[in-house]
Amino acid sequence: MSQKQWIAGINAVSAAIEHDADNVREVLIEAGAKNPRLAEIESNARRAGIDVRRVAGQALDGVAGGLRHQGAVARYAAAKTWGESELQGLVEGAEGRALVLVLDGVQDPHNLGACLRSAAAAGVTVVIIPKDRAVQINATVRKTSAGAADSIPIIPVTNLARSLRELQQLGVWLYGLAGEAEASLYDLDLRGNVGLVLGGEADGLRRLTRENCDQLVKIPMPGGAAEGAAVESLNVSVAAGVTLFEAVRQRSR
């Protein structure tokens, strides 16, 4: 069985049962484990009509493929997916307060998982990722996201620049994060339809992505100057958390 057909970890398995039970085929629980959350997972899975087996820890190690399983893994038939045609409905359903996270070429599954975790906590309307030259939703992403990969809409798109233009036509103002930008994130109004666009770990925003943003902005980092070091950029997952929760702060006024 391919590792991509399994998800591992208490949060990931619990979220899959809660948000996408139709695609969970089987849950394996470590025999003899005393964690009450494992008993809760077993109870919820059985209530949802999902087969549950108690197995030895070594068996879980094998199917988890190196992921820390915490005594729970689940076999997934197919990940819940959202299509590009659903983007308009998601934005319009937010009624003028859409918060969109666009990730341009994130390669590390741990970074993508962390971004999704922040996105779920911030109440993001939809996350957009490219289908090519970027990590997709796999077992590691699901584990790192602590269930967020199953609880928020994620749309992989064929042509990111085209999707950005579609967002603009839907009334979404796009801010791209770039270290060399003059404008500060904290000077923006992030209360309406807003898209926050972040680049990948190595090269940041690609040229076409930059050109299709309405404005490039930066996260001020005075600490770098104080330490005498040139801080070019934050880790993409940290930057995502900073930008998303600035939007949350403004919207909660």
Question: pLDDT tens digits for 81-101?
Answer: 789 999 999 999 999 999 999
- Beta carbons of 60 and 71 less than 8 angstroms apart: yes
How far is the C-alpha of 148 from the C-alpha of 120, rounded, in Å? 6
Question: pLDDT tens digits for 96-129?
Answer: 999 999 999 999 999 999 999 999 999 999 999 9
- Beta carbons of 41 and 27 less than 8 angstroms apart: yes
Range of the domain at 242: 84-251
Annotated binding-site positions for S-adenosyl-L-methionine = 199, 219, 234
Q: Are residues 102 and 46 in the same domain?
A: no
Structure tokens, 240: 């995502």
Question: pLDDT tens digits for 149-201?
Answer: 878 999 999 999 999 999 999 999 999 999 889 999 999 999 999 999 999 88
Q: Are residues 190 and 221 in the same domain?
A: yes
Q: Are residues 30 and 109 in the same domain?
A: no
Annotated binding-site positions = 199, 219, 234
CATH number of the domain that residue 163 is part of: 3.40.1280.10
Q: Are residues 145 and 200 in the same domain?
A: yes
Q: Cα 136 from chain centroid?
A: 10
Q: Are residues 111 and 236 in the same domain?
A: yes
- The number of folded domains in the chain is 2
- Residues contacting 226, CB < 8 A, separation 6+: none
Given 32, 51, 76, the domain boundary residue is 76
Q: Are residues 111 and 59 in the same domain?
A: no
Specify the DSSP element, H or E, that contains 51: strand 51-55
- Beta carbons of 198 and 240 less than 8 angstroms apart: yes
